Structure 1
Amino acid sequence: MMHKAINHYQQVGAASASFASPHRLIEMLLDGGIDRLAQARGAVQRGDRPTKLKLIGKAFDIIGGLRGGLDLEKGGEVARNLDELYDYMQRRLVSANARDDVEVIDEVTLLLGEIRDAWKAIPQEARDNPAAVAAKES
Structure 2
Amino acid sequence: MYSTNAFKAYKNNSVNYASKEQLLLMILDGGVKFSKIARQAILDKDITKAHENIVKTENIFYELMATLDVSQGGDWAPNLMSIYEFIINRLVEANLKKDAAIMDEIIPLIEEVRETWHEAYKLSIKR
Structure 2 length-normalised TM: 0.82
- What is the percentage of aligned positions where both structures have the same residue? 32
1:19 deviates by: 2.3
Give the C-alpha shift of residue 17 in structure 1.
Answer: 3.0
**Which aligned pairs between 1:100-119 and structure 2 lie closer than 5 A?**
100-119=98-117
Following superposition, the deviation at residue 125 of structure 1 comes to 5.7
Structure 2, unmatched stretches of 5+, are 1-10
Give the Cα–Cα distance (whole angstroms) in 2 for the partners of residues 55 and 123 of structure 1: 26
| Alpha-carbon distance between aligned partners in 2 of 1:26 and 1:48, rounded to the nearest angstrom | 29
User: What does 1:23-42 align with in structure 2 at a 5 Å threshold?
Assistant: 23-42=21-40
Structure 1 gaps of 5+ residues are 1-13, 130-138
Q: One-letter code of the match for 1:84?
A: S
2 CA distance for matches of 1:33 and 1:123?
17
Higher radius of gyration, 1 or 2: 2
Give the number of equivalent residue pairs.
Answer: 116
What is the alpha-carbon root mean square deviation over aligned residues?
1.9
Question: Scaled by the length of structure 1, what TM-score is found?
Answer: 0.76
8 Å CA contact 1:23–1:127 kept in 2: the answer is no
